């Protein structure tokens, strides 16, 4: 061992910390790449492996077998976690049934949905490939860690390096070993062609596999098949040739610590690392080489004299009765007799100048030639594995061809476009303002909370609004009913290339009709303004109750009457667009906007809250809270089976945050016909008693707008009651408890 380098004690605790930090970095890179690039690049698995091992080594001061095992465990865990995060996010984004669900809930357990199982299978293939790349990046480090012998104490090092010189007389210190011999040293430059040929082939194959994985989406589109199972297995098997090439490099090129000695008419194999902790003879200065040479001869002399060796087992091996087996241009293969009497084969690379293990074999006189056979064989095996994987996927696709539709029903109408729809002008009409959008409907229709009912035919209509959307989002909304389990066929009024037809000067429209197997028809009419506001009117009826043409004529009348009067609201500016609602002639209540994805895409919807210069947005813009004149309103959208369930769920949230519910307060009402619920709750907040009204009303199918309306007595001023009255008029509520707060203050 180099005497200038002291043995260091490995600090496992710090090493684990370093490995965890490296794991966080590597995992973050894998997640970031998958979320932003949209392609799968397993090369980042190699980066994660290097980050974990390097983090451990930097803080621990070294890497032992135990440290390497710890790093492997941490690395496997972080790769699995990062892959699971990517899979969960993909599921939430692409599976309609899980959109809007909490990440933690979906991460822990996936529902048994076919789309989820397909995504899981895809990411399981990702995980196998990531593990293989991690193994590829970790292999050199692991080989070095597990081949490194145990650290010696300072006393042992002094004994080996100085040959117990402290016990000798000064005259004895200058003695040289009597045994003489010839040392055959490994020359790295002689094996450079092998390193280049094997390493170059491995890198070329690795680059080709990474490029193939990046091109897989295009190949899927080109051949109209899903390259999942077969190609993933092919890529997995293709790493076996890469490992073969890596082993070739290790076998022929990484024997720097091995030398051979002829002494006393015998051939010896010496492991410098085990004998004196020297890893590479060529890196030693001449003085150090002389000391190591004497150490080797002293050790051989002791063995020949029958003395017990003080070195590790395997440091010096006598090749007794050595015999030639075979040789090629890169190595000799010989056999020798072991201590147990059996024979053992040994492959020696031709990297030792002027050395020949057995008489009659060819002497190594120059660098070994390039070795292309492993690279070519690996290439052939890779082509075979990938070709087999492609064939498997093609066969699976052909078997499932009859089960899957030729194209998504949302892409194009299944039937030709209907002729121009005549507009039915009613005898009387009623004008409504919803979300700062004006529109008209037949005056004979019955109206109740965004719903309209044609009493004569039984056809029901419902209005929705969105902001910050584009034509693609509008088409998603128009074809959302195609996901109905009873879906039969689809028709569209307009089937042009952009799927939206001009409507006036500043908007476009379309109407999609979905026919169901139970005999009902659902029509969705939508008008999209140039500013990104979307007005949607749905109608549902039976084929016997009213003809589709009559319903379409009513829808066209309403679409042509739509007028967009609100501001342009986008993802970038929606939090600054809160303003007093002029369409309702409000003096205190304002229109604000919050985000939602319940339409199947990101969109903005409007809510009414007390006007404030500093509204507070929460849940990544999906909730808003404002305070004014002693009244606080929190608003957000929640999924649920009915409004009563949503209100009760909010009540439980308040209780879980430490806000103690006052006993005896159970003032709750639920209108099943309107699907609206109201609850009075009393709790303590920072030592103050709060009276709050929880109010939820159905806004879209399965989604409810929840408002938490709280009185703040310490902030009530003279405008509290006018604000409360205006709020009650918009919400259609009467809240005596909150009114009494204002009366008490006045």
CB atoms within 10 A of CB 341: 6
Domain boundary among 564, 586, 604: 564
pLDDT tens for each residue of 655-673: 766 555 555 445 678 888 7
Q: How confident is the model at residue 416 (pLDDT cuts 50, 70, 90)?
A: very low
Q: Which of 170-179, 302-311, 440-449, 727-736 is predicted least confidently?
A: 170-179
Please give the pLDDT value at position 345: 92
CA distance 198 to 377: 11
Average pLDDT (11-30) is: 79
67 found inside a domain = yes
Q: Which tokens hold the place of 331?
A: 């190595």
Claim to verify: residue 115 and residue 184 sit in the same structural domain: no
Contacts of 410 (CB under 8 A, 6+ apart): 475, 476, 479, 482
Claim to verify: residue 246 and residue 128 sit in the same structural domain: no
CA distance 210 to 207: 5
**Torsion sign across C-alpha atoms 651, 652, 657, 663:** positive
pLDDT of 163 higher than 50: no
pLDDT of 605 higher than 80: yes
Claim to verify: residue 114 and residue 172 sit in the same structural domain: no
Claim to verify: residue 134 and residue 20 sit in the same structural domain: yes
Please give the pLDDT value at position 558: 93
Q: Which of 207-216, 488-497, 504-513, 594-603 is predicted least confidently?
A: 207-216
Please give the pLDDT value at position 591: 92
CATH number at residue 535: 3.40.1000.10
pLDDT of 250 higher than 90: no
Please give the pLDDT value at position 474: 92
**Proportion of the chain above pLDDT 70, given as a percent:** 79
Claim to verify: residue 320 and residue 193 sit in the same structural domain: yes
Q: Which of 179-188, 382-391, 543-552, 566-575 is predicted least confidently?
A: 382-391
Cα distances from 704 to residues 332, 496, 639, 643, 660, in angstroms, run 79, 35, 6, 7, 25
**Proportion of the chain above pLDDT 90, given as a percent:** 25
CA distance 275 to 315: 5
Q: What is the pTM of this model?
A: 0.47
Claim to verify: residue 210 and residue 318 sit in the same structural domain: yes
Please give the pLDDT value at position 408: 46
Cα distances from 201 to residues 42, 243, 330, 331, in angstroms, run 19, 11, 17, 20
34 found inside a domain = yes
103 found inside a domain = yes
422 found inside a domain = no
Please give the pLDDT value at position 635: 94
Q: Which residue has the higher pLDDT, 553 or 206?
A: 553
Q: Which tokens hold the place of 15?
A: 């090493």
Claim to verify: residue 158 and residue 141 sit in the same structural domain: no
pLDDT of 676 higher than 50: yes
Q: How confident is the model at residue 155 (pLDDT cuts 50, 70, 90)?
A: very low
Q: Which of 1-10, 62-71, 134-143, 364-373 is predicted least confidently?
A: 1-10
What does 425-482 look like in DSSP terms, one character per residue? Answer: --SSEEEEEETTEEEEEETTSEEETTEEE-TTT--EEEEEEEBS--HHHHHHHHTGGG
409 found inside a domain = no
414 found inside a domain = no
Q: How confident is the model at residue 744 (pLDDT cuts 50, 70, 90)?
A: low
569 found inside a domain = no
Q: How confident is the model at residue 219 (pLDDT cuts 50, 70, 90)?
A: low
Domain boundary among 501, 536, 564: 564
pLDDT tens for each residue of 72-116: 888 888 888 887 787 777 766 666 555 555 566 566 555 555 556
Neighbouring-strand partners of residue 516: 487
Please give the pLDDT value at position 690: 83
Domain boundary among 113, 148, 183: 148
Range among 126-135, 404-413, 637-646 with highest mean pLDDT value: 637-646
CA distance 318 to 337: 9
CA distance 735 to 716: 16
When divided into structural domains, the chain yields a total of: 4
Helix (H, G, I), strand (E, B) or coil at 412: coil
Claim to verify: residue 377 and residue 474 sit in the same structural domain: no
Claim to verify: residue 521 and residue 582 sit in the same structural domain: no
Q: How confident is the model at residue 5 (pLDDT cuts 50, 70, 90)?
A: very low
CA distance 435 to 577: 13
Q: Which of 201-215, 353-367, 521-535, 613-627 is predicted least confidently?
A: 201-215
The alpha carbon of residue 256 and the mean position of all alpha carbons in its chain are separated, in whole angstroms, by 42
- 317 by Cβ neighbours in 10 Å (0-12 / 13-18 / 19+) ranks as middle
CA distance 532 to 541: 29
412 found inside a domain = no
Average pLDDT (388-398) is: 73
Please give the pLDDT value at position 619: 85
**Which of 397, 512, 523 is closest to 460 using CA atoms?**
523
Please give the pLDDT value at position 405: 40
* Phi (first) and psi of residue 5, to 5 degrees: -110, 115
Cα distances from 95 to residues 119, 403, 601, in angstroms, run 9, 20, 11
Claim to verify: residue 374 and residue 267 sit in the same structural domain: yes
Q: How high does pLDDT run on average in the chain?
A: 79
CA distance 591 to 607: 6
Please give the pLDDT value at position 200: 79
Residue range of the domain that includes 338: 153-404
Please give the pLDDT value at position 28: 75
**Which of 305, 318, 307 is closest to 271 using CA atoms?**
318
Claim to verify: residue 169 and residue 205 sit in the same structural domain: yes
Please give the pLDDT value at position 132: 78
Range among 115-119, 233-237, 591-595, 735-739 with highest mean pLDDT value: 591-595
Average pLDDT (459-480) is: 91
pLDDT of 629 higher than 90: yes
Q: Which residue has the higher pLDDT, 413 or 120?
A: 120
Claim to verify: residue 118 and residue 190 sit in the same structural domain: no
pLDDT of 148 higher than 60: no
């Amino acid at each position: 061992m180099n005497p200038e380098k002291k043995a260091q004690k490995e600090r496992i605790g710090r090493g684990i910390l370093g490995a965890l930090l490296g794991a966080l970095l590597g995992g973050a890179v894998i997640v970031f790449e998958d979320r932003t690039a949209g392609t799968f690049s397993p090369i980042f698995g190699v980066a994660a492996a290097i980050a974990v091992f390097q983090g451990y080594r930097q803080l621990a001061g070294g890497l032992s077998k135990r440290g390497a095992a710890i790093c492997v465990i941490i690395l496997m865990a972080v790769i699995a976690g990062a892959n699971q995060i990517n899979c969960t996010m993909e599921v939430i984004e692409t599976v309609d049934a899980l959109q809007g669900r909490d990440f933690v809930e979906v991460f822990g357990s996936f529902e048994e949905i076919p789309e989820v199982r397909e995504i899981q299978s895809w990411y399981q293939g990702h995980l196998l490939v990531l593990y293989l790349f991690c193994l590829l990046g970790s292999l050199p480090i692991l080989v070095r860690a597990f081949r490194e012998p145990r650290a010696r104490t300072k006393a042992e090092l002094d004994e080996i390096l100085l040959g117990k010189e402290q016990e000798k007389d000064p005259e004895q210190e200058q003695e040289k070993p009597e045994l003489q011999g010839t040392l055959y040293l490994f020359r790295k430059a002689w094996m450079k062609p092998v390193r280049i040929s094997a390493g170059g082939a491995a890198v070329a194959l690795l680059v080709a596999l990474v490029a193939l994985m990046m091109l897989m989406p295009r190949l899927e589109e080109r051949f109209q098949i899903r390259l999942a199972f077969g190609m993933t297995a092919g890529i997995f098997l293709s790493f076996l040739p890469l490992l073969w090439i890596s082993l070739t490099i290790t076998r022929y090129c990484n024997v720097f610590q091995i030398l051979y000695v002829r002494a006393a008419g015998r051939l010896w194999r010496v492991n410098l690392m085990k004998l004196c902790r020297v890893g590479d003879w060529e890196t030693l200065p001449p003085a150090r080489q002389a000391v190591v040479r004497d150490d080797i001869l002293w050790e051989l002399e002791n063995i020949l004299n029958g003395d017990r060796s003080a070195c590790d087992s395997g440091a010096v091996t006598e090749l007794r009765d050595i015999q030639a087996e075979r040789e090629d241009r890169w190595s000799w293969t010989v056999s020798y007799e072991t201590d147990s009497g059996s024979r053992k084969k040994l492959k020696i690379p031709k990297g030792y100048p002027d050395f020949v293990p057995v008489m009659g074999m060819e002497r190594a006189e120059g660098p070994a030639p390039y070795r292309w056979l492993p690279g070519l064989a690996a290439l052939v095996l890779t082509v075979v594995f990938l070709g087999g994987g492609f064939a498997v996927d093609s066969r699976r696709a052909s078997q499932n061809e009859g089960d899957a539709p030729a194209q998504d029903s949302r892409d194009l109408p299944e039937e030709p476009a209907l002729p121009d729809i005549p507009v039915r002008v009613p005898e009387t009409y009623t004008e409504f303002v919803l979300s700062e959008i004006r529109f008209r409907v037949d005056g004979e229709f019955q109206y109740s909370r965004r719903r309209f009912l044609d009493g004569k035919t039984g056809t029901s209509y419902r209005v929705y609004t969105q902001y910050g959307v584009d034509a693609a989002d509008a088409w998603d909304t128009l074809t959302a009913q195609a996901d109905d389990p009873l879906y039969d066929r689809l028709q569209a009024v307009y089937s042009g290339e952009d799927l939206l037809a001009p409507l006036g000067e500043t908007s476009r429209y379309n109407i999609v009709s979905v026919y169901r197997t139970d005999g009902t028809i659902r029509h969705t009419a939508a008008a999209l303004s140039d500013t990104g506001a979307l007005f949607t009117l749905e109608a549902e009826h039976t084929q016997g109750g009213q003809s589709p043409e009559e319903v379409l004529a009513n829808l066209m009348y309403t679409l042509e009457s739509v007028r967009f009067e609100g501001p342009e609201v986008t993802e970038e500016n929606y939090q600054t667009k809160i303003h007093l609602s002029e369409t309702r002639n409000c003096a205190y209540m304002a229109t604000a906007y919050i985000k939602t994805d319940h339409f199947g895409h990101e969109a903005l919807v409007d809510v009414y809250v007390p006007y404030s210069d500093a509204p507070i947005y929460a849940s990544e813009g999906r909730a808003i809270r404002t305070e004014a004149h002693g009244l606080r309103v929190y608003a957000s959208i929640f999924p649920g089976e009915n409004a009563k369930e949503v209100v009760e769920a909010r009540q439980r949230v308040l209780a879980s945050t430490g806000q103690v519910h006052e006993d005896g307060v159970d003032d709750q009402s639920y209108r099943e016909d309107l699907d609206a619920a109201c609850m009075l709750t009393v709790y303590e907040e920072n030592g103050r008693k709060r009276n709050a009204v929880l109010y939820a009303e159905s806004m879209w199918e399965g989604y409810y707008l929840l408002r938490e309306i709280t009185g703040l007595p310490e902030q009530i001023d003279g405008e509290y009651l006018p604000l409360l009255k205006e709020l009650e008029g918009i919400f259609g509520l009467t809240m005596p408890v909150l009114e009494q707060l204002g009366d008490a203050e006045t």
